[in-house]
Amino acid sequence: MKYGRTLRRIFLLINLPASCLFLSIMWGCAPNAQFVLLADPDGTVGEIVVETQKGAQVVDQANYETQVRDPHAAPSMPTLLSAQNIEKRYGAVMQALPAKPVHFMLYFDGVSARLSPESRQLIPNILETIQKRQSRDISVVGHADRTGSEAFNRALSENRAQTVSAMLIAAGIPAEDIEVTSHGENNPLIATADNVPEPRNRRVEVTVR
């Protein structure tokens, strides 16, 4: 992600995990750009390459920063920033970033579209998350294991997704805020041979953004 004005003659090549955080701050009209790499909440760290006409610098460690003080100079050697400095410099920017999506996994009884009792108890948590985030971007994705034919599992995964969507709508979530899709047996959590039952693949994934 890039904040502020683009500094001329600076090129960024970014290779990051989807949820890895990258910050670039441009300070007014001064020819000074700062690039800081932060880790994911799970500790995953990506990589950034900051390049000018005079050279390039790779940052691949969390909380390290490189600076470009002049568009005709090479980026500085990466230096470690303390948590206090990161908060002081970039706290306001980090607060403005979109919240990370929240994921829920719901499972089903056997070869059916009936939620397991444990998963049914998660519905209030999903509703509370939607309300707290005031979300209007909810995805509901149905899946099946490889028990039965591909056509049967495609229909079953759609029914599972529709079951969960209907429960959210019945609780007051607008239908237009929910995107319903299904993958049949084609996107398993656990790979199996054909006609092998796997309860963990009988699921619906709900994502609240």
Domain range holding 86?
11-96
Q: What is d(CA 70, CA 64) in angstroms, rounded to the nearest whole number?
A: 19
Cross-strand pairs, 56: 51
Same domain, 70 and 106: no
* 5 domain-assigned: no
**Which range, 32-41, 95-104, 150-159, is most confident?**
150-159
| HSE value, Cβ hemisphere, 13 Å, CA-based, for 20 | 19
Q: How many domains does the chain have?
A: 2
pLDDT tens-digit readout, 91-110: 888 888 778 899 999 999 99
Of the residues 48, 78, 96, the one at which a domain ends: 96
pLDDT at residue 93, rounded to an integer: 81
180 and 127 within one domain: yes
Under the banding of pLDDT at 50, 70 and 90, the label for residue 2 is very low
- The Cα 122–Cα 115 span in angstroms is 10
Angle at 204 between CA 200 and CA 205, to 5 degrees: 100
The closest of 96, 118, 95 to 105, measured between CA atoms, is 118
Residue 40 inside a domain? The answer is yes
113 lies in the same domain as 194: yes
Q: Is the model's pLDDT at 85 over the cut of 60?
A: yes
Is residue 47 located within the same domain as residue 106? no
* Same-domain status, 66 and 113: no
User: How far is the C-alpha of 84 from the C-alpha of 64, rounded, in Å?
Assistant: 13
Cβ atoms of residues 186 and 89 within 8 Å? no
Q: What is the pTM of this model?
A: 0.66
**Concatenated DSSP letters of 115-142:** BPHHHHTTHHHHHHHHHHHT---EEEEE
CATH number, domain with residue 194: 3.30.1330.60
Mean pLDDT of 107-115: 97
**Domain-ending residue, one of 46, 66, 96:** 96
Q: Which of residues 43, 73, 96 is at a domain's end? A: 96
| Distance, CA of 55 to CA of 67 (rounded, Å) | 12
**Residue closest to 38 by CA, chosen among 52, 57, 17:** 17
With contact defined as beta carbons under 8 Å apart, do 65 and 46 qualify? no
With a pLDDT cut of 70, the percent of the chain lying above it is 84
